[in-house]
């Protein structure tokens, strides 16, 4: 068995530091790098790409809605044309930093409210997928189970990886419970075993204590979750103890 561990990164901005990207890099296989709209500035983008290359971590774009104040976690009433341009603009910015560093972009995972809208709304999902396809049809898209994004990506023939979460709660259909601020983890081993169960048994306990089916090819650990580095370390240890290989998502879905 194999699973990819991804992390939302590069979300510092100016004098404000968010997460510990350098420490997280040693545990993950895919980095979702903020592209400037919800977080991240040009210097942070360049440095995060450099760190990912140094640690042989696959690079992905993490485009958000243009909402620095709300950290991209507030829904915005935008046209699908605008949404497509948001994706193209941000992927283009990150691609040039990647190109200058001698690496490519493997995947794309929209951030926050943008991601949630794509999971719930077919038109938003198609707009994002069309924009990604126009940039590079081989870019892997991350999507939660039973989502509009997953369904539309399959229809369009776009490579897609099913995503689960190490540090957020799930609904009964495998979707994400979006929170505005990450909660501190008080039992790393329990959370790590939850990830193991998602991979081995394709099951997860939901936020309301139901046992739900879930498929995961990539598991997210949010870089801004308090204790994220310790959680990542515990997850890696638990996966290896079960002989589950941690690999970049392209090795898993092809």
- Quick one: pLDDT at residue 116? 93
pTM for the full predicted model = 0.93
- Between the CA of residue 91 and those of 36, 49, 97, what are the distances in Å? 10, 13, 10
CA angle 202/204/62 to nearest 5° reads: 85
The residue-averaged pLDDT of 197-207 equals 92
Region of poorest pLDDT, from 47-61, 100-114, 170-184: 170-184
- Percent pLDDT > 90 in the chain is 86
Report which of 182, 232, 249, 164 is spatially closest to residue 26, judged by C-alpha positions.
232
Instruction: Give the residue extent of every domain in the chain.
Output: 2-253
- Quick one: pLDDT at residue 83? 98
The residue-averaged pLDDT of 148-162 equals 97
| Confidence band, pLDDT 50/70/90 cuts, at residue 190 | very high
Architecture of the domain delimited by 2-253: Alpha-Beta Barrel (3.20)
Helix (DSSP H) and strand (DSSP E) numbers for the chain: 9, 10
- Percent pLDDT > 70 in the chain is 94
Quote the CA–CA distance of 1 and 20 in Å, as a whole number: 28
Convert the pLDDT of each residue in 140-151 to its tens digit. 999 999 999 999
DSSP string for 191-245: HHHHHHHHHHT-EEE-TTS-EEE---SEEEEETTSTTHHHHHHHHHHHHHHTTPE
The residue-averaged pLDDT of 230-252 equals 97
Quote the CA–CA distance of 42 and 235 in Å, as a whole number: 31
Residue with structure tokens 């935008």?
Answer: 78
């Amino acid at each position: 068995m194999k699973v990819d561990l991804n992390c939302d990164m590069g979300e510092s901005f100016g004098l404000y530091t968010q997460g510990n990207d350098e420490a997280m890099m040693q545990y993950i296989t895919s980095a979702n790098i903020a592209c400037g709209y919800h977080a991240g500035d040009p210097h942070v983008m360049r440095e995060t790409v450099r760190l990912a290359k140094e640690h042989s971590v696959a690079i992905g774009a993490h485009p958000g809605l243009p909402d620095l104040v709300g950290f991209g976690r507030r829904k915005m009433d935008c046209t699908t044309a605008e949404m497509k341009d948001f994706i193209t603009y941000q992927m283009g910015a990150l691609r040039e930093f990647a190109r200058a560093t001698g690496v490519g972009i493997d995947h794309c995972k929209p951030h926050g409210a943008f991601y949630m809208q794509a999971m719930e709304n077919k038109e938003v999902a198609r707009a994002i997928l069309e924009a990604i396809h126009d940039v590079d049809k081989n870019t892997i898209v991350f999507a939660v189970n039973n989502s509009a994004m997953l369904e539309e990506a399959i229809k369009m023939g776009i490579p897609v990886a099913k995503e689960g979460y190490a540090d957020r709660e799930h609904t009964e259909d495998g979707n994400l419970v979006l929170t505005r601020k990450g909660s501190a983890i008080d039992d790393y081993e329990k959370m790590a075993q939850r990830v193991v169960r998602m991979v081995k048994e394709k099951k997860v306990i939901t936020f309301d204590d139901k046992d739900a089916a879930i498929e995961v090819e990539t598991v997210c650990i949010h870089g801004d979750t308090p204790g994220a580095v310790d959680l990542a370390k515990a997850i890696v240890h638990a996966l290896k103890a079960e002989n589950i290989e941690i690999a970049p998502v392209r090795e898993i879905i092809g």
